[in-house]
Amino acid sequence: MNLSKLDEILKSAPVFRLAQAKKAVFFDLVEDWSKATTISKDLREKLRKEVPLEIKGKILVSKNGRTVKAALELEDGLKIETVLMKHTDKRNTVCVSSQVGCPLGCLFCVTGTMGFKRNLTSSEIVEQVLFFARYLKKDKEKITNVVFMGMGEPFLNWENVKKAIEILNDDNCFGIGARKISVSTAGITEGIERLAEDFPQINLAISLHAPDDKLRGELMPVNQKYPLEKILKSVDEYIEKTNRKVMFEYVMLKDVNDSEEQAKKLAKRLKYPLYMVNLIAYNPNGRFESSSPERIKKFKAVLEKAGIFATQRYRFGTDIEAACGQLAGK
Ligand code: SF4
């Protein structure tokens, strides 16, 4: 689906036509223009040819039914993965990809090992949410949250991610509130600045994963250009402008970054009222092992003792390789 083409085709038509077409796509969730009966037959035919609504995708559902992974095929044949997480409190979160592959090559991440193929267009990003909105329609459920934590680094494709966020947030499209949308970055400081300017209400998450530059540099090559001090300075400026809390993601790798000493080091670095830490149980993919639940508990306790707000993320979809760092466009 090419949303800019939709705007282009309808630009000389009365304004309500575009609103009707968007309602058909985003509210009625039609999968075929022939079902958009508020639109004239001729126009439907034109749209059918020029803005097809089909999204090619295959899904895998986890055993407990709460995680659904979709492999979507793009127009050029490349594939991306996107994940729906159904929470027990009725929230439905889509974890979207922003690039095909990723150029940053973090060692613990399967996407990183694929290399980088290309940026996704804004329509390709929105399509991931649309795919799951259609999937949930049968149960009369809706998408409530979107996180940019799938394949790719969102700030390296900011113009398209920005356009996609505008569509997700637009009341004539999905109408998902800005505070229900989160962008996660490996620490691209220019992107953090842009987020504060463009969308001060949107949540920011930082993939940190190590308490010092030495280890972070070994795990995440991007740390050479964006070391911890630079990132934290940028985060502080972001907080000054937006007064929003910031989440630091920390994936727990056995005997790599999970010792008590490392927890103390991290606590020292992250002692700031608007910082939060989210500990993520790692999903082993060959190179690293995951920390034991006891180790994670101890690590969390050290942070909390130091006055840091810390949470532990529920591990979604490990059985279908839909969890953090496991998306690979297979
Ligand atoms: S963790 Fe994120 S930034 Fe790092 S390689 Fe994977 S997708 Fe890219």
Pocket test for ligand 1, best of 80, 148, 207 (most atoms within 8 A of CB): 207
Nearest residue (CA) to ligand 1, atom 5:
112
In contact, 108 and 224? CB cutoff 8 Å: no
Q: Which amino acid is at 2?
A: N
Residues with CB under 6 A from ligand 1: 102, 104-106, 109, 111-112, 151-153, 186, 207, 325
* pLDDT band with cut points at 50, 70 and 90 for residue 317: low
- pLDDT given for residue 12 in this prediction: 85
Q: Is 129 exposed, middle or buried (0-12, 13-18, 19+ CB in 10 A)?
A: buried
Q: Give rounded-to-5 percent helix, strand, coil for the chain.
A: 40, 20, 40
Q: What's the mean pLDDT in 227-255? A: 96
pTM of the model: 0.94
What percent of the chain clears pLDDT 70, i.e. is strictly above it?
95
How far apart are the CA of 325 and the centre of ligand 1, in A?
A: 7
Q: What is the pLDDT of residues 214-229, one digit of tens each?
A: 999 999 999 999 999 9
Which atom of ligand 1 is nearest the CA belonging to 324? 1
C-alpha span between 220 and 214 (Å, rounded): 10
Report helix angle 228-242 to 189-198, nearest 10: 10
* CA distances in angstroms from 25 to 48, 75, 315, listed in the order given: 12, 19, 32
Q: What is the pLDDT of residues 141-172, one digit of tens each?
A: 999 999 999 999 999 999 999 999 999 999 98
Is the pLDDT score of 284 beyond 90? no
Is the pLDDT score of 324 beyond 60? no
Pocket test for ligand 1, best of 106, 116, 182, 326 (most atoms within 8 A of CB): 106
Is the pLDDT score of 321 beyond 80? no
Give first-to-last CA distance, the chain, whole Å: 22
Mean pLDDT for the chain overall: 92
Compare 4 and 180 and report the one with higher pLDDT: 180
Catalytic residues: 81, 324
Nearest residue (CA) to ligand 1, atom 4:
106
How far apart are the CA of 156 and the centre of ligand 1, in A?
A: 11
Q: What is the pLDDT of residues 48-83, one digit of tens each?
A: 999 999 999 999 999 888 999 999 999 999 999 999
* pLDDT band with cut points at 50, 70 and 90 for residue 98: very high
Neighbouring residues of 265: CB distance < 8 A, sequence distance ≥ 6: 211, 212
- pLDDT given for residue 326 in this prediction: 60
In contact, 130 and 176? CB cutoff 8 Å: no
Pairing of strands 275-281, 79-86: unpaired
Which atom of ligand 1 is nearest the CA belonging to 153? 3
Is the pLDDT score of 319 beyond 80? no
Which atom of ligand 1 is nearest the CA belonging to 184? 2
Which atom of ligand 1 is nearest the CA belonging to 152? 7
Pocket test for ligand 1, best of 96, 104, 220 (most atoms within 8 A of CB): 104
- pLDDT given for residue 325 in this prediction: 60
Is the pLDDT score of 13 beyond 90? no
Is the pLDDT score of 286 beyond 70? yes
How far apart are the CA of 139 and the centre of ligand 1, in A?
A: 33
Q: Which helix (H) or strand (E) holds 68?
A: strand 67-73
Is the pLDDT score of 328 beyond 80? no
